[in-house]
Structure formats: C-alpha cells, structure tokens
Homo-oligomer: A and B are copies of this chain.
C-alpha cells in the first residue's frame, strides 16, 4: 500500500475512530465511517479487508482492533525524527508545533543560514546549514520539512538529495518531483488559498 490516497484515508479513519473512542464508542460500522468521511462504505470495507481488519457489515468493527492494525501498518512503534530546513516564521512555527509529538513525530533540529536564528541550546536546537549533512547521517534522519525561501529551494533540494535523506515535505511554492531515491510531497498554501477563493467567488456569482 503506497498509494497516497489510501494512506490519507487510513489517517482519516484513525482520526475519526480516536474521536469516537473519546465519545465512548466500542464498535463502528462501515456506513458510519463512510457517511462521516464522504466516501463509499464499500471502499471502507475494501480498505479494512486490505489491512487485514476483520468484522462485518452487520456486527461492525472493534475500534480498538482497527486502531491497533492501523498503527501496525503505519509503523508507529518507533519515534520518527524529523528536521526543519529554514527557520523563518513558518519553519519556526512548525518546529514548535505541539500536534506532531502525539503522532510519534519528533522535530529534533532546525537549520538556517542566518546567524541570528542559530540557537544550539534551543529545544529543539537551530543549527547552521553547514551542519545538515553530518546531522542527517549521524542521526539517521529520513524525513525533513523544507521551509526555505523560494529562491534557494532548488539548491536546498540538491543539498538534501546528496545527504541520502528519503523524504522532503516541501512548503516552498516550487513544485518538485520525486525520484526513485527521494520522495518530495509539496504543500502550496498560496495555491490552496487561491483555489478556495476561486470556488467561493464562483459560488457567490451564481447567487
């Protein structure tokens, strides 16, 4: 299962099921999930079948059991160490984001070229860019978040690629393509906002 849509569905199932657990639910039906997530219930059952989750349409699925399987699939047994490249406002906000730790993701360092942002005593520390390659190798870092300015994005990808890192979550406006060795997922916040503006304006025009 390496399809991005499938993994995101899996994460959505997990989110929803954890929420239902807090409400006291023990079991869930594929129809409940499909209604809430706006997908077909047959797709939910197919996903669960693929993950080896047993249950049925009539009796429902044990939430505990589904969550256990999902964590197994996601390999949640070890902490995932991630670094942030480019500690401007967005990079800094992500470095300190509280939501990662409860999913087993730890931001272990940030890197920047600006001496005023370096803070080796910080938690996590901010180190100079010239330490990136050694840090990634010594700490076996597989994933980084890239929040550098657009004009140095290409250069940064080249630099990261040479370190042997496996994945980049790219927040710059430049869209990069993955290679066999390096997976790059792109989040373009400006595009997301432009898209929303377009949809809303079209809707207002219709009214």
Contacts and interface: CB of A to CB of B under 8 A. Distances in A.
B100 A96 contact: no
B99 A167 contact: no
Contact of A193 (B89, B143, B175): B143
Counted per complex, copies of this chain come to 2
A199 B175 contact: no
17 contacts: A11-B188, A11-B195, A15-B175, A74-B198, A82-B197, A90-B93, A90-B94, A103-B193, A105-B194, A105-B197, A166-B204, A169-B192, A169-B193, A183-B203, A185-B192, A187-B187, A187-B192
B89 A38 contact: no
Given A12-B175, A89-B97, A167-B200, 16 more contacts: A2-B202, A15-B173, A74-B197, A75-B198, A82-B197, A88-B93, A90-B90, A99-B190, A105-B197, A143-B193, A143-B196, A166-B200, A167-B197, A169-B192, A169-B196, A187-B192
Interface in A58-104: 73-75, 80, 82, 88-90, 92-94, 96-97, 99-100, 103
A155 interface: no
A190 B105 contact: yes
Interface of A: 2, 4, 7-8, 11-12, 15-16, 37-38, 73-75, 80, 82, 88-90, 92-94, 96-97, 99-100, 103, 105, 142-143, 145, 150, 166-169, 173-175, 177, 183, 185, 187-204
A96 B105 contact: no
Contacts of A8: 191, 195
Contacts of A177: 38
Contacts of A201: 75, 142
Contacts of A94: 90, 189
Nearest to A103: B190
**3 nearest A-B residue pairs (beta carbon):** A89-B93, A166-B200, A167-B200
